[in-house]
Structure 1
Amino acid sequence: MNVEVTSLKANMDNLWQCLHALLKRIEQLEGTANLNRKQHYDANNSPKRINGTFDELVSLNDNKKRNDEDADVKVVCNETVTEDPETGIRKRTVVTERVVTTKAFHVIPIKDDLDHSVTTVNESAVLHDDKSKMSCTTDSIRKNGEISSPLSMEILSTTTARTIQLSYNPFREIDYDRVANLIIITRVKPDSVAKDIRAGDAIVEINGISVTQIKRLTELKGSIILKIMPAPLHQGPSVYYRAILDYDGSHDSRVPTNFSVLNLKKGDVIQAFSMDSNWIQGRKVNDLNQSGLCPVNILGEQVSMLSPYGRRVLVLLGVPGVGRRTLKTMLLTHMPQYFATATPYTSRVPKPNELEGREYYFRTKEEMLERIRAGDMIEWGELDEQFYGTSLETIRSCIRSGRVCLLDCGPQALPHLYNAEFMPLVVLISPPEIDDFRQINKLRPRPYTEEQMKAYILENKKLMESSYAKMFHIVLVNRNLDVTFKRLMETLSELRDEVQWVPEAWLHRR
């Protein structure tokens, strides 16, 4: 009997130690066990009290599970009691499981099929705000990396759509540009009666049809229904002015009858879409819904927008097949309001659906050669007897829009970019070791050969040891595109929040 009692006490002590450690760990990890320290048990507690503790723990977990079904971490206790048929000793086993739930979010293309329509019957165009949330399509991306979806992420998050019904064709009374599958109004003519269409508006649909499917706008006849919303800031002109005086257009008798006015406070910045000797047609940059006319004389100096990242160019380098172009596209899709890419030049003839300045800038071979000789091209090449290349001027134009110019180029372009004018952040995307590369390669639709993979790794090693390496700021090994993209985003976030160290020569530009 004494031996059995001693054995039971030893088991009780061991059980108490396990229980105490379990409760303490649960408190540390998730804070679910809010038991008072006075309820923790010492070695003199009876087996009955210890059993009660298990009951409290199980009850506590059940309550937690009922009260927090969406918790990321859950604890489940399962209890079993067995009895030894020979000795009659009962054995109680409690198994505690921690279930960790992870959540992953993926961007998927969603068709813009929400109901944004508003019934309007007034011939002069009755406006009504659509309070429903917009959906964003990201499945259509231009060849050069810029967004070509009908709606911009910037528009969708900050503005509302409106529907206008007209009994005439307004496109003879306005000037417009086609930009990224939108029709952006740049100027409304003085004699126009389309007073509800303003510079800075983007037409998304005409009679329920996407503007991408309508070519000859001036030939439209009959009643016309326009779906309109403010164009993204970065898709308008990179021309900004700061107001030096307050302006209230309701007291200005000079305003043409059919025009809405843009009331301003001193210090407001406007984006100018068109200008004559007296008036500017523009909109406030901090509220894209406010657009209209304002007099030229209340505007002071022309101003430019600076990127919040402190760098003007983001360079992605890497050997073929390492994923830098995919990362570039992901970044342009994720934050088109902060990043843009430079449109390349080519000497070939435009294809039927290509537009000047969208896919390429089309130039003659002689003009391309002149730019190369003048040092204006950061990189260039020849394919099928035609020249292709990236010009410094297009990079400057991108920067003037207030965005970071995103380039995926070769290392030979770095000497043109690594200076005070462009202040680049240079990121090298490296392939993983050969074993990881083989696993990743299996997922490719057209896998590389073993020789190609080894050649890419060797080429990357040479690049790391080259004279260009001193210009690399960050090296990211791409084992997984999603993880690498997240690390790139974290790096960019640090640029906004932390002190940056740049070459001293960049701060003494003359």
Structure 2
Amino acid sequence: MPMTLPINTNYHDPDAQTLLEFLPQLQTLTPGQEEGVAFLRRFLRRKEVQATMKSYKSISILSYRKLRPVSMASVALAANIFCDIRKCSDQPASSEELLEILSKPHVQALLYTHDVIAKRDYDIGNCNSKPIQLSEENNVKVVQLVKKDEPLGVTIQQNEATGIIEIARILHGGAAYRSGLIHVGDEIHEINGIQFTGRNPDDMANLLARLTGPVTLKLVQRQEESSPKRASNIRVKALFCYDPKEDTIIPCQNAGLPFQRGDILHIVSQEDPMWWQARPESQSEGMTGIIPSQLLQERREILQELMTKKEVSNRRARSVSPCKISPRISRSKRVKKVMYQAVQHGEFEMGDIPTYEEVELLKPDPDLNRPLILAGVSHVGRNELKQRLIGSNPSRYVDVVPYTSRPPKSYEVQGREYNFVTRREMESAILARRFVEHGEYRGHLYGTRRDSVLSIVESGRVPILTPSAKALRYLRTSEIKPFIIFIKPPSFDCFRDSRLKYNAMFTSEDGSARTCSEDIISAVLAKSANLEGNFGHLFDSVLVNDDISRATEELIRLADSVGRDLQWVPAAWVE
């Protein structure tokens, strides 16, 4: 038989002791539940449980007595006293001490508990009472909050028809949200006894920002109170940078949430079609901030693009050439743009306006490695980093050789730089949808075959690709699931010094080698900045190639982490 030890606490409650004495009998009646009985024994011996049981019995005894509290609104009374003292210009030392006492959280919590007990809100029987139908005149509620060093968590607006200030939005996690007493649409008439009917909303916002301690709000409810909606569990990757201080149309700049491109955000509420509520994924608690919704951001970008085109059109109209006929450019000097195509397999293709992308965590699969894509411009060191990564572990990392219809150059080897095939062979494979991406440049076809990538993945190795930037969006599919690393050049001086240190040579399109020059460095930096601006929302990581040895170590570490750690990927990639 298990022993029943006495309760080791100052609150020796006879009822708790009775329950403990019954536990051996309970264990006999329920064989196989020893763990549950042991849990109950530990639970009943806790000091907190003993104190709670004693407090409950004391309150239960008081409920049968004819005791009347002196006041049922001690929080409001303390708040009024607090405000009256602060209004006085000359305050003695005793007043300062009283203000400090009333501002303490423990005192405010004690006053709040007093009001709850005085109003008998703890009485379970009140839950069965019928709701009281309030008239419009009596539809007034007084909300008492204790505001610490945090915003109240609401945004306000002025009703254009009535001129009354209303609650426009309640931020999840804030003091107003936690209270459960304030709702969207409530009219704010008074704050700590100060009338705000017909006044400027900025005055109220400034007051709420300054107030600390007890805050009493007199509200008029103009709509039926609905139960708070459950928070959303959507996570998105931000595809643009946002600073609320630079946003001229945000309802409240102080309530805005700044973020950088690539940040993971937890969207808590999408009730407002123009302004979502979100918090950084790394922040599990606290008040949310507001961010522009996808619809608002797309409209803003479209408007900005139209304004930019209009400005360019106006500048061109002002600088029309006096010549009636412009000189023609010979076809030999025209460069045909690379036009990539892809098979999307019915997947949603990201639009031209990057806003947000819904993401989920992908668990690494030891049998299916994610391909690595090294994105970047020419002469930034992608190929050197690729060869060093493959050399660090040739049995794991494998180069994916693309296909082309152009003839090989003198220094190129079949199957090393490219797989050289005829144009007819490539066109047949393209029609058979065997390429994950393909395009045409200077009259020749280029592309990456699907089986070239998947065969390496199925063999348990990691494919390494260095495609053109315009092919990234087409390789970024649920079938391939690549991890895209942007190889970024360092600053001008660092770029020049690091290339001179290793006597770097740049290969031109005709195959000739050229030494490093300031013109080449400036062109690389400009092209890289343009690439990052246009495709940066597709990158999973950025690696600065300031020193080839250090960058190689960082690339190896990053490649290892892809196969080991959880990664945020588009939600469509997670089955």
Please, what TM-score do these two structures have when normalized by structure 1? 0.36
Please identify the structure whose Cα radius of gyration is greater.
Answer: 2
| More helix, by proportion | 2
Please, what TM-score do these two structures have when normalized by structure 2? 0.32
